């Protein structure tokens, strides 16, 4: 295999595909003459030039429109395109991050970056992730899995809210940038129930609201060791949530990297991120979100394909550690190639 030949894959069928475009724009110049493929919302694959990708403006708002014709109608038709290359997955959300692509690549002995199918499936399902976290004695918020197609399940949600007084609702198997609700009164609860029932996501993880500082920590796994990165903190304006508007459009939130933590707090947060990465079976890199309380960090979730946009946490944390982005990319490709003895 020509280990220098990279296939950069971005876009996808999920509602996080706009973020994927911005991630691809930020990483494309770190590869030498990569093949670049855009996946549209219908799952078709289109070849794209670096110039075409970089010329796209406002990626967090505007849909990317390829100029060429499709070269594959779906994932099944991509084996010949990706053979003898390593695929760099600049994908986020369903299909790209839930293990679907990873399982396909593994079955077809195609090299790719990031965690394998098993870890990807686990971390994308928040309820199953919390089950795994509980076996590692991680501190967790109490939770309830709610199926909004079930009247009984929704009634259990109302009881859960009555007991906890303030709760967080988010899709069980999707990114938390979309469909996030923080509820502190019955009117907000009923509004959330109404909106969720109208949406396509009906399985939600509901957690007791944890008061504390929002911290996220990246983990970089090199061939010769695993490195926790500098923690970041999210500061929210009153009444704001860290949703898509806050993460990518800078509305209602401020990100601080490195976070202002003492040595004990920093180590506790980094240790939790390391434990999550190792125990969940992640590979290459991951990022773990948590709430830092007076009693230590409370685990929230682990991302197996963290955002790679210029505004994303992972690049911020690499910079805070004086790690060049090129070095990170090169090591990520090496770890992807190491997945197989012979590719």
Q: What is the mean pLDDT of residues 277-288?
A: 98
Global confidence as pTM: 0.93
The bridge status of strand 232-236 relative to strand 225-228 is: unpaired
**Range(s) of the chain covered by CATH 3.30.1490.20:** 143-208
Q: Tell me phi and psi for residue 45, to 5 degrees.
A: -105, 135
Q: What is the mean pLDDT of residues 292-321?
A: 97
The bridge status of strand 232-236 relative to strand 213-222 is: antiparallel
**Range(s) of the chain covered by CATH 3.40.50.20:** 6-112
Q: Are 291 and 269 in contact (CB under 8 A)?
A: no
Is a pLDDT exceeding 60 seen at residue 341? no
**Range(s) of the chain covered by CATH 3.30.470.20:** 212-337
CA distance 221 to 241: 30
Q: What is the mean pLDDT of residues 68-82?
A: 97
**What pLDDT digit, counting tens, does each position of 4-15 carry?**
699 999 999 988
Instruction: Provide CATH code, domain 212-337.
Output: 3.30.470.20
CA distance 72 to 166: 47
- Non-local (6+) Cβ contacts of 284 within 8 A are 113, 114, 115, 220, 221, 332, 335, 336
For residue 176, the model assigns a pLDDT of 56
Query: What tokens appear for 185 in the block?
Result: 């009164």
CATH class for the region spanning 143-208:
alpha beta
What SS3 class is residue 36?
Answer: strand
Band of residue 159 on the pLDDT scale cut at 50, 70, 90? very high
Name the strand (E) or helix (H) holding 170.
strand 167-171
**What pLDDT digit, counting tens, does each position of 188-198 carry?**
999 999 999 99
- Non-local (6+) Cβ contacts of 274 within 8 A are 219, 226, 228
For 61-90, the three-class secondary structure string (H helix, E strand, C coil) is CCCCCCCCCCCECCHHHHHHHHCCCEEEEE
- Non-local (6+) Cβ contacts of 57 within 8 A are none
CA distance 5 to 85: 5
For residue 251, the model assigns a pLDDT of 58
CB atoms inside a 10 Å sphere around CB 241: 17
Q: How far is CA 155 from the centre of its chain?
A: 31
**What pLDDT digit, counting tens, does each position of 311-329 carry?**
899 999 999 999 999 999 9
Is a pLDDT exceeding 80 seen at residue 252? no
Query: What tokens appear for 247 in the block?
Result: 């993460």
Band of residue 264 on the pLDDT scale cut at 50, 70, 90? very high
Is a pLDDT exceeding 50 seen at residue 257? yes
Name the strand (E) or helix (H) holding 221.
strand 213-222
Band of residue 256 on the pLDDT scale cut at 50, 70, 90? very high
Q: What is the mean pLDDT of residues 42-65?
A: 96
Higher pLDDT, 132 or 173: 132
For residue 2, the model assigns a pLDDT of 45
Name the strand (E) or helix (H) holding 66.
none
For residue 1, the model assigns a pLDDT of 41
CA distance 224 to 169: 39
For residue 33, the model assigns a pLDDT of 95
Query: What tokens appear for 155 in the block?
Result: 């009634």
Q: What is the mean pLDDT of residues 114-122?
A: 97
Query: What tokens appear for 316 in the block?
Result: 């911020």
Average pLDDT, the chain: 93
Q: What is the mean pLDDT of residues 110-120?
A: 97
Q: What is the mean pLDDT of residues 40-56?
A: 97
- Non-local (6+) Cβ contacts of 340 within 8 A are 109, 111
Is a pLDDT exceeding 70 seen at residue 136? yes
Beta bridge partners of 298: 291
CA distance 267 to 296: 10
The CA distances from residue 186 to 48, 148, 169, 199, 259, in Å, are 49, 17, 14, 20, 34
CA nearest to 220, candidates 290, 279, 270? 270
Query: What tokens appear for 31 in the block?
Result: 């590869």
- Percentage of the chain lying above the pLDDT 70 cut: 92
Q: Are 94 and 178 in contact (CB under 8 A)?
A: no
Q: What is the mean pLDDT of residues 207-233?
A: 96
- Fold of domain 6-112: Rossmann fold (3.40.50)
For residue 178, the model assigns a pLDDT of 75
């Amino acid at each position: 295999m020509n280990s220098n030949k990279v296939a950069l894959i971005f876009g996808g069928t999920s509602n996080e595909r706009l973020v994927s475009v911005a991630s691809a724009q930020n990483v494309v110049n770190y590869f030498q003459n990569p093949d670049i493929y855009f996946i549209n919302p219908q799952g078709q694959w289109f070849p794209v030039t670096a110039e075409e990708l970089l010329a796209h403006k406002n990626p967090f708002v505007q849909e990317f429109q390829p100029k060429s014709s499709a070269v594959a109608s779906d994932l099944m038709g991509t084996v010949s395109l990706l053979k003898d290359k390593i695929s760099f997955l600049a994908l986020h959300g369903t299909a790209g991050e839930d293990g679907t692509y990873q399982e396909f690549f593994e079955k077809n002995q195609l090299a790719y970056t990031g965690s394998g199918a098993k870890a990807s499936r686990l971390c994308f399902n928040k309820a199953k992730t919390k089950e795994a976290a509980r076996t590692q004695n991680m501190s967790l918020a109490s939770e309830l899995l709610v199926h909004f197609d079930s009247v009984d399940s929704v009634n259990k949600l109302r009881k859960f809210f009555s007991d906890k007084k303030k709760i967080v609702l988010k899709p069980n198997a999707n990114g938390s940038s979309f469909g996030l609700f923080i509820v502190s009164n019955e009117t907000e609860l009923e509004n959330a129930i109404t909106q969720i029932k109208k949406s396509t996501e009906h399985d939600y993880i509901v957690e007791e609201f944890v008061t504390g500082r929002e911290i996220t920590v990246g983990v970089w796994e090199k061939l010769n060791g695993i490195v926790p990165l500098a923690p970041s903190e999210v500061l929210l304006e009153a009444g704001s949530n860290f949703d898509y508007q806050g993460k990518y459009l800078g509305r209602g939130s401020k990100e601080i990297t490195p976070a202002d933590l003492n040595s004990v707090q920093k180590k506790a947060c980094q240790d939790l991120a390391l434990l999550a990465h190792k125990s969940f079976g992640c590979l290459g890199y991951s990022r773990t979100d948590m709430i830092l309380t007076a009693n230590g960090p409370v685990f929230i979730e682990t991302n197996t394909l963290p955002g790679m946009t210029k505004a994303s946490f992972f690049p911020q944390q690499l910079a805070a550690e004086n790690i060049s982005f090129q070095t990170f990319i090169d090591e990520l490709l090496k770890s992807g190639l190491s997945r197989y003895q012979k590719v």
